[in-house]
Amino acid sequence: NLDPNTPLPGEEHPFYVHVNVVSLMLCCAVIAVMCNASALYDDFNGRRLNENLWQITRQLDRYSLLRLHDGHLEVYGNGRWRGVKSTCVFHLPKEGEDGSLSVTFKIRPAVHYTPSGHVTSIFDSSCGLSEEPLTVKGQSRTFGFILTYPKYSAGKYKVCVGGKWLQTQQPFTQSIKDYDFLRISIGRKGGKRFCILECSKDGVQWAVLHSNSPPLHEAVRIFISSCWGAIAVDFVKVVVKGAVSVEKKPLPKSTEKLNSIPFVYAEEILKGDEPKLDGRLDDEIWKRAQRITLSHRIWTDAPITQLTTAMVAYDSNNLYIAFECREDRMDLLRIAHKDSSGVVWQDDCVEVFIQPDPTDQPAYYFHAVVNALGVNWDDFGFHARWRAFAHRGANGWVVEMAIPFETIGTKRPSYGDCWGINFIRAERPHSELTSWSPVRGGFHVLQRRCKSDEHY
């Protein structure tokens, strides 16, 4: 994954320690409940993807989607299989043992907007179980369901049993108002292996799509994925019986980190909790906000020595952005420009590129710059319409900014909106230019703009 919460080397972040401890406790609680009998694995009612339970399998590109919206997990792969796998591995019963794992998905089509229009088709989506560990080539056999194009399936479910796809006669839902319930049960009983795949329209009456006794691997993970379809999952339920054990085992980190577009959740600020904007980051919102690292050097492969982190939040009127800049040569800091009439970007500064509508207005963006004195500048000359503050310390400097949505040229984002954004730092003492998302060409090249989910 993208390691957005990696702290600066040599620096302790008590907040992250606290989160890690809570995360471990929550995961253990989930495992304990499931091992007792049954549990709701995830109802997707949180404000962001629960990274204790799920891990993204492939990073998003410009128009793909993976978000929590209206109590659902919504996934759109934009032509490549993207989605999530469970961080929990379910160890299946061995020969001579009895036990079973049953996983139920409640699904329907999602709505996703792309440059060519909106996607409401669930075609080319899938969910089920994938075997663990992977093969030498990084592949795994699957047990589950696929919803593919009518020309290939006549609008009916296909199922996969140990890697072999089979056609069924059960139509899958194609309406965003209707749900299908899918259930897969796998394990051993009376010394015999079994795998049963079922479908229901109400979660009560079930129809068997396929059953057999395939070879069982050591363990499985739950997966949800999409290629060209847009799938919404309302919940995932798990029933564990007998000799099935559960282990927390995160997936290996993605090798696509340098070639993909990351995303960050913008933390919502409740009324009365707005930050003071004094450049000190001691407000509650910055303790909750997701911290990302500017991990790419621009125009060079040399390592980064002066690290930078950024955070983003919002309230009903403003987008709030914070940068924390490590600097071991504060005596060489370049801070020549004292007001917005100068070339502020030639100082030690941070920059943010904000693209509020990457789908319908991909060429429009708001570019803001703040130097280490807190002097602000933007491409439109709206410097007086937004605020920025800086604080310089012994080992670095901090910037906080608040930019009204009206100044950006948009309205307050709705729940589920996804904006383009990138964070830049120009560090002068060591001549380091760094960014969050890789920059190809100049800073103003749009195709590498990152994603910010403004509803979190």
Q: What is the mean pLDDT of residues 302-323?
A: 95
Q: What is the mean pLDDT of residues 296-319?
A: 92
pLDDT for residue 441: 56
Model confidence at 212: pLDDT above 60: yes
Answer for the pair 434, 368: CB distance below 8 angstroms, yes or no.
no
Higher pLDDT: 36 or 117? It is: 117
The two domains 14-255 and 261-453 share their CATH topology (first three levels equal): no
- Name the most confidently modeled range: 3-12, 71-80, 101-110, 443-452: 101-110
Q: What is the mean pLDDT of residues 196-200?
A: 95
Indicate the range of 31-40, 130-139, 216-225 predicted with least confidence. Answer: 31-40
pLDDT for residue 2: 30
Please state the domain extents for the chain.
Answer: 14-255, 261-453
Q: Which of 182, 186, 230 is nearest to 202 (CA)?
A: 182
Q: What's the CATH class of domain 14-255?
A: mainly beta
How far is residue 293's CA from residue 422's CA, in Å, rounded to a whole number?
11
DSSP assignments along 270-297, one per residue = PTT-----SS---SHHHHHSPPEE--EE
* CA 225 remoteness from chain centre: 13
Indicate the range of 7-16, 121-130, 136-145, 150-159 predicted with least confidence. Answer: 7-16
Model confidence at 301: pLDDT above 90: no
Q: Does the CA dihedral 452-454-455-456 come out positive or negative? A: positive
Higher pLDDT: 87 or 8? It is: 87
Answer for the pair 369, 380: CB distance below 8 angstroms, yes or no.
no
pLDDT for residue 25: 38
Neighbours of 122 (CB within 10 A): 24
How far is residue 238's CA from residue 88's CA, in Å, rounded to a whole number?
11
Q: What is the mean pLDDT of residues 73-95?
A: 91
Q: What is the mean pLDDT of residues 338-352?
A: 93
Is the preceding omega at residue 133 within 30 degrees of 0, hence cis?
Answer: yes
Tens of pLDDT, residue by residue over 172-185, are 888 888 999 999 99
Q: What's the CATH class of domain 261-453?
A: mainly beta
How far is residue 187's CA from residue 216's CA, in Å, rounded to a whole number?
8
How far is residue 35's CA from residue 161's CA, in Å, rounded to a whole number?
25
pLDDT bin (cut points 50, 70, 90) of residue 262 is low
How far is residue 318's CA from residue 406's CA, in Å, rounded to a whole number?
8
Q: What is the mean pLDDT of the chain?
A: 83
pLDDT for residue 275: 93
Is residue 158 helix, strand or coil? strand
Output 17-24 pairs: Cβ under 8 A, ≥24 positions apart.
23/51, 23/52
How far is residue 267's CA from residue 291's CA, in Å, rounded to a whole number?
11
Higher pLDDT: 11 or 92? It is: 92
pLDDT bin (cut points 50, 70, 90) of residue 252 is confident
How far is residue 376's CA from residue 277's CA, in Å, rounded to a whole number?
14
Q: What is the mean pLDDT of residues 410-423?
A: 84
Q: What is the pTM of this model?
A: 0.60
Q: Which of 436, 411, 409 is nearest to 425 (CA)?
A: 436
Q: What is the mean pLDDT of residues 350-370?
A: 89
Higher pLDDT: 84 or 39? It is: 84
pLDDT for residue 116: 53
Phi-psi region of 28 (alpha: psi -120 to 50; beta: other; left: phi over 0): alpha
Q: What is the mean pLDDT of residues 235-260?
A: 79
